Amino acid sequence: MSTTRRRRPALILLVIAAAGGCLGLAWWQWARFESTAGDFQNLGYALQWPLFAGFCVYAYFKFVRYEEAPPPSPSQDGVTELPAGLLPERPTAAPQDDADPALQEYNAYLAELARNDSDATPTRE
């Protein structure tokens, strides 16, 4: 007997507890909706919790189905490649325009500031 089959009663109890908890929360939200302090958010939650309970049961049945007939594993022999055009193209940098006189003037100003800064800093000995 496989270990997953031995753990199946515990899994069934977990699913029952989870689904029961979800349905209990749905009942609680419905009671809150019907009270004077309730609003439509409580109604939304009251309708949402049964869906979570249904998902718990659905996930259990999918687990049992995969346990009995697991999906085929992909072959490890071949190289896996991404098909062309699947990912977006990498952006390319815009061409640098060195003919801009304002940019050249600004870069020269920054270079002059860097020279003055290095001349003004005292050297430690």
The percent of residues above 70 in pLDDT, for the chain, comes to 92
pLDDT band, residue 123 (cuts 50/70/90): low
Q: Which two tokens stand for residue 91?
A: 């952006």
Range of 8's domain?
Answer: 3-68
CA–CA dist 114, 107 (Å, integer): 11
Tell me what the pLDDT averaged over the chain comes to.
87
Do the beta carbons of residue 40 and residue 48 sit within 8 Å? no
pLDDT at 124: 63
Question: Looking at the domain assignment, is residue 25 inside a domain?
Answer: yes
- Quote the radius of gyration of the chain (alpha carbons, Å): 33
Select from 5, 8, 14 the least CA-distant residue to 53: 14
Question: Looking at the domain assignment, is residue 7 inside a domain?
Answer: yes
Question: Looking at the domain assignment, is residue 56 inside a domain?
Answer: yes
Question: Looking at the domain assignment, is residue 12 inside a domain?
Answer: yes
Question: Looking at the domain assignment, is residue 48 inside a domain?
Answer: yes
Select from 40, 39, 45 the least CA-distant residue to 25: 45
Question: Looking at the domain assignment, is residue 58 inside a domain?
Answer: yes
Question: Looking at the domain assignment, is residue 39 inside a domain?
Answer: yes
pLDDT at 6: 75
pLDDT at 96: 72
| pLDDT tens readout for residues 4-34 | 677 889 999 999 999 999 999 999 999 999 9
- Number of domains forming the structure of the chain: 1
pLDDT at 32: 92
DSSP 27-86: HHHHHHHHSTT--HHHHHHHHHHHHHHHHHHHHHHHHHHHHHSPPPPPPSSSPP-PPTTS
- Enter the pTM of the model: 0.54
Question: Looking at the domain assignment, is residue 19 inside a domain?
Answer: yes
| pLDDT tens readout for residues 37-74 | 889 999 999 999 999 999 999 999 999 888 888 778 77
